[in-house]
Amino acid sequence: PRNQCSYGALGYRAFSSNWQSPLPGNEDIGSNTGIPGPTIRANVGDTIRVHFRNNDRHFGFPHSIHAHGVAYEPESDGAWVWADQSPGSAVNVGDTFTYEYTALPQSVGTWPYHDHSVPQTLIPGNAPDMELNAQLGMMGVIAIVGENTPKADVENVLVMHDLYAATVPGLVQDFDCFNGFAYLGNTPTFRAQVGQRVRWRLIALGKEFHAFHIHGHRWESSGSFVDTQVVGPATSL
């Protein structure tokens, strides 16, 4: 039944100047429809500046952005801490904050970014949960390249994540998702042609381990060939 296999979600979206309208999706930022959020791309040495506004008028939660793999000052960390509640760690509905990061040589690769604020819990009597907003879909990928990063003909961005949703009263459904979608025939399709070099930028978020496996293909990892790699929460490949 549809009410047992769909859920309400939150997501990051890229907007035009002054948040006038959502940007159309493209090969650089992805589909820009929610999960994952727009891909943030940079070269080594770049400064990344993200102007963020909280538009969550459904739940009314505070939100933030916490980035992995890049350098930043404490005010751009985005992680809510009880003893040091910086403005960027809990941006309230309608408010804005600008995060600033630097891409270092050791930043080359694929990294997650996600909400790290603390909302009011959706379940009465439960303590605030720093992972709830990310589990509801507020996550994305940072892609940093250097001068030695090889060119790719096709680049796929994939988020493997878990979502625990109250689909109907009294039922909490566990969705194992690819880019926000679950179930065979509903998950995204990735395409390439014979002879093309394909890069996968993969992150995993949630509480579960996932196996990245492509039938019929192998790649080199730590000196041997594999066709499966296990990724845990908050890790990337």
Q: Round the CA-based radius of gyration of the chain to a whole number and report it.
A: 18
Read off the pTM. 0.92
Residue 134 pLDDT greater than 90, yes or no: no
Q: Which of 46-50, 89-93, 119-123, 205-209 has the lowest mean pLDDT?
A: 119-123
Q: HSE on the CB side for 211, CA within 13 Å?
A: 6
> pLDDT of 172-217, one tens digit each?
778 899 999 998 889 999 999 999 999 999 999 988 899 999 998 8
- Residue 122: per-residue pLDDT: 54
Coil, helix or strand at residue 24:
coil
pLDDT band (50, 70, 90) for residue 218:
very high
How far apart are the C-alpha atoms of 137 and 231, rounded to whole Å? 18
Coil, helix or strand at residue 103:
coil
